[in-house]
Amino acid sequence: MKKLALLLSSLGIVGLGIAIFATAQEPAPPAFERGGSEDVTEERGTAGEPEDAGEDFDADLPKQIQVQVEFIELSHEALTKLLFKSKPVSADATKLREQLQEMVEKKEANVLETMIAIAKSGQKATTESIHEFIYPTEYEPNWGLPDADGKTQPPPAPTKPQNIFPAVPVCFEPRNLGSTLEIEPTLSIDNLVIDLRFAPEIIWHTGNTSWMKGKDLLGNDYDVLMPDMFVVRLSTALSCYNGKYHLAGVLSPKDEKGNTDHKRKVMVLVKCDILTVK
């Protein structure tokens, strides 16, 4: 019996050695062929964790998105030179933003405006830096003062073609002058990509246009003025990666007279950052 037990024990050890050898010879899975599981984790990151999130990122904590929009002004020639040899293979414009920063430091470009808004995923947010400008939109003839019965009668026909009384404004409308940013970010399930709808704009009052001028019967001058506005506006939807700049569009600014200046351009760049609430 002792010999039989020793024989079985020896056979068991030999079988275990064969199993270990077979396991060692088994082909490695594709992940290890590409450099091991650690390399794959470094390439793709942990699911639900942004690439540059750092140690403080926690996928289980609530998130909110900070949207930063920049208007950077430069000459048309400098814009063409900057983009002439550019062959972007992705939407990431961070390197382009670094080049613009060097131009800003050399006074070759100018940061015209920076707007920031923070919102929860799927929620809308608006930031405004405005002056409310109220102006007339409709004019009507002025028939003079009411009589003793409280009724206003039309004046008699003039002997020469001119107004008895100047027209007066009867309807007014407000317009917000300054900068406004509207955003609606939506965070993906894996917390990596932000689907962003946003509409930044800057509005200036550049002067007034005279629609009618003259003298009334009493010799008073009158002038019907309507305001001129210049607007740079962008409304679009983008998919943004966390912490990366994206070029959203290029616009033409105004010149000193309030007209479109085609010799200069304004680049609109946007950056979204996922913020952990804790």
DSSP line for 93-116: -HHHHHHHHHHHHTTSEEEEEEEE
Residue 155 lies in a domain: no
In this prediction, residue 263 carries a pLDDT of: 96
Residue 152 placed within a domain: no
The answer on 111 and 7 residing in a single domain is no
- Give the count of domains, the chain: 2
Same domain (yes/no): 15, 58: no
Same domain, 36 and 60: no
In a domain, 154, yes or no: no
In this prediction, residue 268 has a pLDDT band, given cuts at 50, 70 and 90, of very high
Strand partners, 238: 196
Give a yes or no: residue 183 inside a domain: yes
- Together in a domain, 220 and 240: yes
State whether 23 and 106 are in the same domain. no
Are both 2 and 127 inside the same structural domain?
no
Residue 132: which H helix or E strand, with range?
strand 125-140
Using DSSP's 3-state secondary structure scheme, residue 212 falls into strand
Q: Is the confidence at residue 115, as pLDDT, over 70?
A: yes
**Secondary structure (3-state) at 77:** helix
36 and 74 together in one domain: no
Shared domain for 90 and 39, answered yes or no, is no
226 vs 137: CA distance, rounded Å: 8
DSSP, collapsed to helix, strand or coil, labels residue 138 as strand
User: How confident is the model over 225-255, as pLDDT tens digits?
Assistant: 899 999 999 999 999 999 999 999 999 999 9
pLDDT value of position 9: 53
Task: Give the single-character DSSP code of 254.
Answer: B
- Burial of residue 93 (number of CB atoms within 10 Å: 0-12, 13-18, 19+): buried
CB-CB contact of 250 with 268 (8 Å): yes
Helix axes 94-105, 76-84, angle to 10 degrees: 140
Residue 181: closest CA among 119, 122, 242: 119
Whether pTM > 0.85 for this model: the answer is no
Residue 112 lies in a domain: yes
Residue type, 198: F
Let me know whether 6 and 86 are in one domain: no
Per the structure block, which two tokens stand in for 156? 């008699």
Residue 192 lies in a domain: yes
Q: What is the pLDDT of residue 18?
A: 45
User: Quick one: 125 and 229 in the same domain?
Assistant: yes
Domain span at residue 171 reads: 52-142+160-276
Q: Would you state the pLDDT for residue 62?
A: 87
Alpha-carbon span 267 to 100, nearest angstrom: 10
Residues 124, 104 share a domain: yes
The verdict on residue 209 lying in a domain is: yes
- Residue 218 domain-assigned? yes
Q: Mark whether 37 and 136 lie in a shared domain.
A: no
The pLDDT, as a whole number, for residue 170 is: 86
Residue 177's SS3 state is: strand
